[in-house]
Copies of this chain bind each other. A is one copy, B any other.
Amino acid sequence: MTKKSSGKRISVTFQPDDITATAEYKANLLETAIAAGVPINASCGGAGTCGTCKILIEKGRVDSIRTAKVSEEEYARGTRQACQSRILSNLTVQIPAESRLETAVLEREMASGVEAQAALATGWGFKPSVAKDFIELVPPTLKDNTSDLSRLMRGLKKRHGREKISVDFPVVKKLAQVLRDGRWMVTVTTLRDSETGLRLINIEPGDTRTKLYCLAFDIGTTAVRGQLLDLNRGKILAQSLDYNRQRSYGEDVISRIAYSQKPGGLKRLQQAVVATINKIIGELIEQAGVETKDIAHMVVAGNTTMTQLLLGLDPKYLRLAPYVPTINTAPPLTASPLGIEVAEHVHLYTIPSVASYVGGDIVAGVLGTGVYQRKKLTLYIDIGTNGEIVIGNSDWMVTASCSAGPAFEGGGIKHGMIAASGAIEDFNISRQNLEPEVHTIGNSKASGICGAGLINIVAALFSAGVINQKGKFHSHLPTKRIRRGRDGYEYVIAWATETEMGKDIVLTEVDIDNLIRAKAAMYAGCQTLIRSVGTSCPDVERVIVAGTFGSNIDIDKAVTIGLLPDLPRERFIFIGNGSLLGARLTAFSHDLVSEGQRAAGMMPNLELSESSDFMHNYVAALFLPHTHAEEFPSVRVKLNKAEQEIGI
């Protein structure tokens, strides 16, 4: 008699997903749940210390020790920690909402800088589009020598019932060898594709279920941001960002589209963004210690131009009236033919776009923040090189986009940079001696100014009366930091000795002018869109501010320069990079694929470039905070107070 296993097979049903697994006598309940693909949380990895894997035994018996994580009362009702339970008989187990993986994901979102659960999409189940199944096949004999593929399909049908499963050809190419290398025990990766149904995309020998990763990317005009996700645990394992290498060919989408029309231009742009993505993938797998071959899926969000350039689709017609994109929803395709350095079987899912200037990035944001799910009238603003704006609720949404220019990403700014280590992101100025107080990302020596820093600096300089409403320096002020440079007056933010590259970091009047144009475009866009639906700023019940730098700016400062509307501060929520958030949640849940289609489908687009109201509003916004001071009452009060203090 061996101690290890009696060989008795027991059936365990997990609710509410209604997944039934077989297990051996005394098998660990958590391990059984994870192997069966039940979306159960287990933060501590099964050590018994976190209490996140609590389940309710509805029927049957387990052998389980009560730890401090389970109260006596809970224990009496049948609550156990799955990781501490051994299966003794056939079971029916309930996974309560708080132990589910989607709950864990939402909690992690909040912990990692997302300020309110109230701004996250709800109602989705944790079920990634890609999944792994471990299958043990009966080896062939002379009496049963059907093809390898038919045998595999027989095994798969036991898991997926009568559902039709199509097979990608690369699986067929390695099928014979993998089945035999794995001695007829293999792990298959399936992809649920909304167009073509369930697809078999990969096969590996043995049991590789624990290794299932996905990439989520936000392809921005200025910067590209990527994350590596663990699809078994719903976790971000690594993240990284870099400038989009397409910047060498133009700062904004218009100049990129122009460049794409040169001979070989489209190809070079495509290769540039792919090179950026590949560099980030390299960093992500190194950070996380993961192998490229275990990455099974890729979800990407970007504006329409970035998406078309990534896919190698000529963007010419995006900028010619009537501004028609080639696609809003990309057909199923694999990533490696584009040059992306992932395994051959990795499919690329692109978040759908709405129009030429309302891309997958904003759909991803709307999706991730659930704007389309709530009754509250919400203004969603994604601040970036292309500003995107949505106003609406669960009944209707309208969207618009405006070309803000690259200032918010540090572009077109003399010492601008993306929000990487060394970027100045916080700034205050002493009203006494006009000396600055500077804070950099990572507390490194200053290397430049990121978008958030730029807003904070300009707001502080304006509030302190160092610059006027037109963004020009009061050059007579008693500080050597204000001086005449090559581009007119400038303010020295950091002296050469304090900086990484040993040169002064300055803010010029040209820089300020660029920021004013950018904020004017964003504000005028919001104003035009809000008025187009017959409402006005004060009616907006919630403002969701997306954009990576959004989390680092101060609402007051953004309102001070006239970037955000002057509303009660509690209505604002910052969610960081909304595009990446939506891509990530879509990677975690196939539900969001169809939701994405639905959200994209319900958003008509207002073409601001065709709107005379927009031009009017834009010109009026080319002031700090605005030509019509009455739109910014709180700023007026503050400025009046400041003026009195420093006596300008």
Contact = CB atoms under 8 A, between A and B. Distances in A.
A355 interface: yes
Interface string A328-342: 111111000000000
A172 B331 contact: yes
Interface stretch (A161-169, A448-456, A615-623): A161-169
Contacts of A148: 317, 324-327
B177 A142 contact: no
Given A148-B325, A167-B331, A172-B331, 14 more contacts: A142-B321, A142-B323, A145-B324, A147-B325, A147-B353, A148-B326, A149-B327, A151-B324, A169-B333, A172-B327, A175-B327, A176-B316, A176-B317, A180-B317
A159 to B, nearest CB: 18
A16 interface: no
A328 B146 contact: yes
A607 B142 contact: yes
A356 interface: yes
7 contacts: A140-B322, A145-B323, A146-B328, A147-B353, A148-B324, A166-B331, A176-B324
B314 A177 contact: yes
A76 B255 CA distance: 72
A147 B327 contact: yes
Contacts of A322: 140-142, 144-145
B321 A147 contact: no
Contacts of A177: 314
B169 A331 contact: yes
Contacts of A356: 145
Contact of A172 (B141, B145, B167, B326): B326
Instruction: Indicate the size class of the contact surface on chain A.
Output: 35 or more
Copies in the complex: 2
A147 B324 contact: yes
A7 B165 CA distance: 48
A356 B328 CA distance: 45
Contacts of A329: 149
Top 4 nearest A-B pairs (CB, nearest first) are A145-B322, A167-B331, A147-B328, A149-B327
Contacts of A323: 142, 145
A440 to B, nearest CB: 43
Interface in A266-319: 311-314, 316-317
A166 B145 contact: no
A150 B331 contact: no
Contacts of A311: 172
A326 B175 contact: yes
A143 to B, nearest CB: 8
A45 to B, nearest CB: 38
Contacts of A324: 140, 145-148, 151, 176
Nearest to A314: B176
Nearest to A323: B145
